[in-house]
Chain A
Amino acid sequence: MTAAAHPGEAPAPTGFFSSDRFAGYLLTAAVLLPMLAFLVLPLSAILLYSLRGPGGIGLENFTHTFGAPRFWTLVVNSVVMSVVSTVGTVVLAYGYAYGLARAKVPFTGLWRIVALLPLFAPSLVQAQGLILLVGRNGVFNRFLGFDIDIYGFWGVVISNLLAAFPYAFLILSAALAVADGRLYESAEALGARPLRIFRTVTLPATRYGIAAACFVSFTLVITDFGNPMVIGGDFNVLATEVYNQVIGQAQFGLGAVIGVVLLLPAALGKIIEKRIARKQHALITAQSKPLVIRPALGRDVAWSAFVVAVGVLIISVLAIVIVASFVRLWPYNMTLTLRHYEFDVQNGTAPIWNSIFVSFASAIAGVALAGLCAIVVQKVRTPLSGPLSLMAILPSAVPGMVLGLGYVLAFNAAANPLNVLYGSFALIIILNVYYNHSQAFLITSTSLNQIGGSFDEASTMLGASMTRTLGKITLPLIWPTLLGVGVFYFMRSMVSLSAVIFLINPSTQVAAVSVLQLSDRGAVNQAAAFSVCIMAVVVGCLALVRLVLVATGHRNITLIR
């Protein structure tokens, strides 16, 4: 689809054009070229700062950083916090996704949306919700007589659990969505108990999803500075140090050093991904029968209880912010009022429309680019697949502010022909696509990995070209996942801020910036009210898409797989 974007390529002879090799390289180029321009270039632009010290080009910044004992404390803090958060997140999200996919839990669709709530609530809202709930003057302490002090390590872990949960859920849900019923039937026929079936059938079949979910959660929490800043107290991590250096003291060089260090988990993740993908066996093959979930009272009640418990936790953090946004002065004056909804911020609620446009465009561009990237990496084997898949998961290891500043450096440069994009919505949309690229790529890859090669083989043996196989076999099988990826992009683009803040200008204000402006000037309740409006818009858009699906006869397609 982006093939037309390379006018430099001469028209190929028909025979070569139809050959799979050529099509493979063309698809690879369609993914690789924009990635080089919009990911590798800006990242290099900012990371080069790590080599620029006060004494000229060299490793001075690295030796200075690695020589400080403080740095190593931060490394330990970051790793321990991220491991604990990741394990917690993946266990909870696996249970939640498993319950929804493999037991009969009532209102499945509702619980799927609940799982995604933290995605489209600005992170500010969640931190505020936690403090209203379990802060020193929060509901538990003030009204219920507890004595909790949330600030510190556990505060960060809990807020990160919430923040990473939907990402892990989306991936694990894609991994659990499909299963070969025959395997389960034969296991049952052989008298295996449920736990043994889980260990020998389900768990191995979802190992790629688990690894991807671990990777996404880990990189997400290790690069996030928002939660540690609000609820971490004096518990510092590498990401907050990047913030200190870059925003606090305008020391790009030292910030970039830590940016480089934070890329290590991505490289490590890539190696692990490769090993796991090799061991993964496809769940769906040409002979598969869909797994039919039969009611089982004990199991269903147990999983329902688990799903409800987790879901209620997620809801309560947001619900308290919504309630507080309708209260005159929480917790001192509890009379109800709409005064926080009289937004006197620059441009009022108009930026929400900009955000809808930007998010919708990001969803389309994101599905096209990240989805195609996953297909190219998983289904089109070229020597470039390896480097491509590393680049595809790189963005999640980059703190938003590092990527945002990289965009400024790369696209504001007079020498860059792409600098016409600077200051436009187009660049913000592209930034959204690549900032969230890893998650979208991994969700699609997980789904692709569940589809066996026998489909492709059959199709190829019947004489279909690779592109035809992709169009006729692969896309129809994974398009519900791609729809979910679009929803994911839409939600993230409505609220993410840390990278976008460096690209907005007076004409391209988006809603998340309005929330920040309000919160910066102390109007915390107005900021919460504004966030509630954003969330309402997202829910409205989801409902609209759902309506379109039903109206076009796709009643059975879920928006979130």
Chain B
Amino acid sequence: MVTTGVKRALGAAALMVMLGGVARADTITVYTAYEEDEAAAFLAEAKKALPDVEVKMLRLSTGDLAARIIAESGNPQHDVLWGFAVTSMVDPRISGGLEAYKPVGVEAIPARFRDPGDKWFAVTGYMAALCVNKERIAAKGLKMPKSWADLTDPSFKGEVVMPNPASSGTGYIQIDSLLQMMGEEKGWAFLDALDKNVAQYIKSGSKPCNAASAGEYAVGASFELRAIKNIAEGFPIAMVIPSEGAGNELEANGLVAASKNKAAAKKFLDWTVSKAAANAYFSWKAIVTIPGGTMPDKFKAAGLPEDVSKVLFPVNFTAAANDRTRIIETWQKKYNR
């Protein structure tokens, strides 16, 4: 009989392991699309500030996470959506699962970075940046580009890589900001000219910078953090913020309506707009919408101006989200890529 008891206990223990443990009362699950290392740094700060809340974090890329949230929408598994691209957040299948909540101190965020219905608020963001391989442009005798327009020069033919807007949010925001900036007619004409020099549209927002860093191509259009990191890593690249104004994307937070632990989830969201959080954001993010902290020296060394608002193009995010399907279809038809 003893052995049966032992067997049962073992079986129960195995079942517990298989089913992934039992949730504690103040445990919340947070889904985030922040890059893994910045998410880990922010989370460490959050745990310091909220010792009584256990935060379980799942990090996936924006596209993977959006697909997962939509598929789970019948029975959501998370309490908080954190650091998630606004142009995906406004998708009714995702914002529909959120509940209006105004965290303590949310007024510090300018109103244009908040949902009018209070379902989400954006505290951080990222912007378009070009990674230029110094070794390769020297070898090919190219001029260091300063703008998108410089990349249309015939000398750059086959040396530019961009993210594919059909698969990458970064890619979409790059072309959409140009279309918003120039108006669609001029904008498409400009993209036509740019397209002649593009060697390939890579299906990820960060890979073009990695390809330029590896010396596969001279210029990779990507976003600022990837450029800064690759410079710090030692790759012979320079970061160029296009002088026309950089397209950008905001990363927003929101409360999941189906959350079973809203008190703890709200505590976490309150923290995301706190001074302590702002300080953590500033050491990783070029775009922070709340006051606090200062830009780290490596950002400045990489070429970011202290006041980034001067180089940012004021993107209309709602329009960007609404136009997405139409613009991507037009883009695919025109360039057949």
Contacts and interface: CB of A to CB of B under 8 A. Distances in A.
A409 interface: yes
Nearest to B17: A425
Nearest to B38: A521
Interface string B1-43: 0000000000000000111110000000100000111001000
A346 B233 contact: no
A506 B216 CA distance: 36
Contacts of A523: 37
A424 interface: yes
Contact of B88 (A250, A251, A346): A250
Contacts of A195: none
B336 A70 contact: yes
A507 interface: yes
Given A233-B200, A234-B200, A408 B72 contact: yes
B325 interface: yes
Contacts of B167: 229, 240, 243-244, 247-248
B329 to A, nearest CB: 9
A201 B29 CA distance: 62
A249 B166 CA distance: 7
A426 B18 contact: yes
Given A250-B91, A412-B72, A502-B68, A137 B58 contact: no
A131 B206 CA distance: 17
Contacts of B56: 505-507
Contacts of A328: 234
Contacts of B71: 252, 405, 408-409, 412, 502
Contacts of B57: 346, 506
Contacts of B210: 522, 524
A72 to B, nearest CB: 12
B236 interface: yes
Interface in A208-243: 229-230, 233-234, 236, 240, 243
B333 A248 contact: no
B196 interface: no
Interface stretch (B59-67, B114-122, B290-298, B301-309): B59-67
Interface string B232-247: 0111100000000000
12 contacts: A234-B200, A247-B67, A248-B167, A249-B325, A333-B234, A408-B68, A412-B72, A413-B74, A422-B77, A425-B18, A505-B20, A520-B36
B93 interface: yes
B262 interface: no
B332 interface: yes
The size bracket of the interface on B is 35 or more
A522 to B, nearest CB: 5
A240 B203 contact: yes
Interface of B: 17-21, 29, 35-37, 40, 56-61, 63-64, 66-68, 70-72, 74-75, 77, 88, 91, 93, 135-136, 164, 166-168, 199-204, 206-207, 209-210, 214-217, 226, 229-230, 233-236, 324-325, 328, 332-333, 336-337
A557 to B, nearest CB: 29
Nearest to B335: A234
A504 B57 CA distance: 11
A280 interface: no
Contacts of A518: 36
Interface residues on A, range: 35 or more
Interface string A422-464: 1111100000000000000000000000000000000000000
A250 B69 CA distance: 10
Contacts of A551: none
* Residue picked from B56, B214, B226, B324, most chain A C-beta under 10 Å: B214
Given A401-B67, A521-B37, 5 more contacts: A233-B199, A247-B63, A408-B68, A413-B75, A522-B206
B207 to A, nearest CB: 8
A246 interface: yes
Interface in A512-536: 517-518, 520-524
A420 interface: yes
Nearest to B61: A520
Which residue among A236, A251, A328 has the maximum number of chain B CB atoms within 10 Å of its CB? A236
B-side binding surface: helix, strand, loop or mixed?
mixed
A249 B324 contact: yes
Interface string A343-365: 01110000000000000000000
A502 B214 contact: no
A250 B66 contact: yes
A332 interface: yes
Contact of A131 (B40, B216, B328): B216
A414 B74 contact: yes
Q: Which 3 A-B pairs rank lowest in CB-CB distance, beginning with the nearest?
A: A137-B215, A248-B167, A247-B63
A244 B166 contact: yes
Contact of A414 (B67, B75, B333): B75
Given A137-B214, A345-B36, A506 B58 contact: yes
Contact of A234 (B18, B168, B337): B337
Nearest to B201: A234
A346 B36 contact: yes
Contact of A332 (B19, B60, B235): B235
A48 to B, nearest CB: 12
A78 to B, nearest CB: 16
A412 B93 contact: no
B70 A248 contact: no
Contacts of B68: 405, 408, 502
B1 to A, nearest CB: 22
Contacts of A405: 67-68, 71
Most buried by B among A142, A246, A333, A522: A522
A122 to B, nearest CB: 16
B20 A508 contact: yes
A517 B36 contact: yes
Contacts of B235: 329, 332
A401 B166 CA distance: 17
A414 B229 CA distance: 43
Given A243-B167, A426-B19, A332 B236 contact: yes
Given A502-B67, A506-B57, A425 B20 contact: yes
